[in-house]
A and B are shown apart, each in its own frame.
Chain A
Amino acid sequence: GENVEQHPSTLSVQEGDSAVIKCTYSDSASNYFPWYKQELGKGPQLIIDIRSNVGEKKDQRIAVTLNKTAKHFSLHITETQPEDSAVYFCAASRYSGGYQKVTFGIGTKLQVIP
């Protein structure tokens, strides 16, 4: 079946430093790659997404890159702040049988140290 590998599982950075989370996917039909942030006691919230026809996308301090050939995609957070501390999930998605078939990574717990 489809699989999404995510690394690292935990990440600690000093405030102001950058954080990078990497994912690989197995389903070559995946064409939509969202990243979610989950804070304690809340459901996952979309922070950025990228479609398969785009190699890179940036939104303020957050950027995502996609290498379709290698089936790799990554999240980059620059100038990290304590409020960036949360669990981040990557996902690979395709439309199948009338719905969004989404496969999630296992999550990365990011801790930003003030």
Chain B
Amino acid sequence: ETGVTQTPRHLVMGMTNKKSLKCEQHLGHNAMYWYKQSAKKPLELMFVYSLEERVENNSVPSRFSPECPNSSHLFLHLHTLQPEDSALYLCASSQASGSYEQYFGPGTRLTVT
């Protein structure tokens, strides 16, 4: 595998379920990001991990819980979501220092029923 991979690609869950999204990067980067992409809105930054420490939590509800066990892996744990949380969740990675491109994964399309 190369680049940034995300699993699953599609997820349908009920409001009472617990699920996790997984992201893996094979680029040797040391910063990883979660974004939410909704229709007719700019990409919304949710969380940032730099050198395995969380450095940004952009006012995200506690029903979203990130985890970064090492610099190559990033998880987003989901519980008791709301229908308005349905969106495309994108993972990205970059070098932690300097102004560098972020590399995005293909995203997980989440539907909350």
Binding site for B on A (CB under 8 A): 4, 31-32, 34, 36, 41-46, 49, 51, 89, 93-95, 97-107
Contact = CB atoms under 8 A, between A and B. Distances in A.
Contact of B107 (A32, A43, A102, A105): A43
B40 A100 contact: no
Contacts of B50: 97-99
Of the four ranges (under 10, 10 to 19, 20 to 34, 35 or more), the interface on chain B belongs to: 20 to 34
B106 A41 contact: yes
Most buried by A among B42, B50, B55: B42
A98 B50 CA distance: 6
B97 A97 contact: no
A51 B106 contact: no
A104 B90 CA distance: 13
A94 B99 CA distance: 6
Nearest to B33: A99
Contact of A107 (B42, B92, B99): B42
Interface string B93-113: 010111111111111000000
Contacts of B43: 44, 89, 104
Contacts of A99: 31, 33, 48, 50, 55-56, 94, 96
A43 B50 CA distance: 21
